[in-house]
Amino acid sequence: MRTGTKRKCEAGHIYYKSSDCPVCPVCEKKKSAVADFYSKLSAPARRALEGKGIFLIEQLARFTEKEILQLHGIGPASLPILRKALADEGLSFRNQKP
């Protein structure tokens, strides 16, 4: 049995809280995953992704490896980190079209 009041965050997640704290646990978990993902990259690689508007793993999955490698600041050493971050979320880079 769940305790607390049923709530829905702006992102649409349903959760229960017994305190007055307005923080959605699902959103917070995603934020920490993003912070962890970004923390493993070099500063130029982080800036390159941010400059392209990539802040979430799901956004990264919309690109091919080739597209990401073309960003200034992303090098071959970043790809294994990015692949692992995607795989940890059950995602992968978009397939390259012939």
**Under CATH, domain 29-98 is a member of which superfamily?**
5' to 3' exonuclease, C-terminal subdomain (1.10.150.20)
Give mean pLDDT, residues 33-55.
Answer: 84
- Three-class SS state of 12: coil
**For residue 20, what pLDDT is reported?**
81
Is the alpha carbon torsion for 55, 89, 29, 43 positive or negative?
negative
Tokens of 69: 């490698």
Question: Over 45-63, what HEC string results?
Answer: HHHHHHHCCCCCHHHHCCC
E strands, the chain, are: 5-8, 14-17
pLDDT at residue 97 greater than cutoff 80:
no
pLDDT tens-digit readout, 2-15: 678 888 988 888 88
Is the model's pTM score more than 0.75?
no
